[in-house]
Amino acid sequence: MAANAGGPRAVITGAGSGLGQALALRLAREGWRVAVTDIDRGRAETSLSRVREAGGDGLAEACDVRREADLRRLAERLREVWGGVEWLVNNAGVASGGTVAETPLEDWQWMLDINLMGVVRGCRALLPLVQAEPGAHVINVASFAGFAGVPGMAAYNVAKAGVIALSETLRAELAGRGIGVTVACPSFFATNLLESFRSPQGGQRGLMAHLMDRSPITADDIADDIVQAARKGQFLVISHPRARAALRLKCRDPEAYFRQTVRSTRRFVQPPEEP
């Protein structure tokens, strides 16, 4: 299949590994053309090879979502080669730990620049590609952390809450244009997100790795949930049953949710060292 041959088209940021790659392969098995982008061109090209092995096709592009120029260049490339895309998936992201007070300002800026502003830039640059396409859909990958308010994950929580708010706003703005919006809010699952992990608290990386490794939900599970939700026009995707139960409790009884969160997440915040 040539890159400009038939088949629905999707562009996915951060698709060189993890959930982004799982989404690319999920679509490839149905014959989609997938623009696989990643800050690491080698990873993007490896994912594209897997996409082709799975029955799809596409192209691989290096893209840093911190750089508006990269996203605009990607948009021009896709317009030239495909003319547009049906699905835009803003997935690229990083992870961090640390409290509000202890997280350095440069880590706050790094986190917000990638996990929140990267989605804003992706929408601004790539949304015109889906405007005129039937079945057009925008998928933003947030996290259950955007709802949870877990202590010790301050910058990450705030960035992902911003993606949820952005997605709600975008959904309302696009409601009359035939463009759907889905926001995915997974909890912990096995991924390589910790490769770029930052935290002023030394033990947090190991704790996060433990929670990821013990999760019964995989990237493939989440990718399948996202694809099905987008096709149904469903806005919110929370794949983990315990996370869905926690959100119901938070909506029904916020104070009970708060007490439960404090009890169950003490290990996320290490006590300060004695002077």
- For residue 151, what pLDDT is reported? 86
Q: Would residue 272 count as lying in a domain?
A: no
For residue 198, give the nearest of 114, 99, 94 by alpha carbon: 94
* Neighbouring-strand partners of residue 184: 141, 237
pLDDT at 59: 97
Is residue 96 domain-resident?
yes
Contacts of 275 (CB under 8 A, 6+ apart): none
pLDDT score for 263? 82
Active-site choice (32, 82, 144, 156): 156
257 is catalytic: no
Check which CATH number belongs to the domain holding 164 and give it. Answer: 3.40.50.720
- pTM, to two decimals: 0.89
Per DSSP, the chain holds a count of helices (H) and strands (E) of: 11, 7
Residue 96 pLDDT: 85
263 part of a folded domain? no
> What is the pLDDT, as a whole number, of residue 201?
63
Name the residue type at position 128.
P
Residue 27 lies in a domain: yes
Residue 275 is assigned to a structural domain of this protein: no
Our CA angle for 164, 142, 206, nearest 5°, is 135
**Residue 186: predicted pLDDT:** 93
Asked if residue 255 belongs to a domain, the reply is no
E strand or H helix at 183: strand 180-184
What residues make up the domain containing 71?
9-243
Q: Please, what are the averages of pLDDT over each run of 10 residues along the chain (275 residues)? A: 66 96 97 97 97 97 98 97 96 90 94 98 96 87 93 92 98 93 85 63 57 76 96 95 91 93 70 42
pLDDT at 90: 98
Query: Has residue 268 been placed in a domain?
Result: no
| Residue type for position 204 | Q
Domain count across the chain:
1
- Please tell me the predicted confidence (pLDDT) of residue 79: 96
Cβ pair 34, 8 in contact under 8 A: no
Give which of 42, 32, 152 is closest to 95, Cα–Cα. Answer: 152
Output the CA–CA distances (angstroms, integers) from residue 201 to 157, 170, 271, 272, in the order listed. 16, 35, 10, 10
Q: DSSP assignment of 7-61, as one string?
A: S-EEEETTTTSHHHHHHHHHHHTTT-EEEEEESSHHHHHHHHHHHHHTT-EEEEE
Asked if 107 contacts 96 with a C-beta cutoff of 8 angstroms, the reply is: yes
Residue 152, token pair as written in the block: 């010790």
The pLDDT score that the predictor gives to residue 3 is 41
Asked whether residue 261 is assigned to any structural domain, the reply reads no
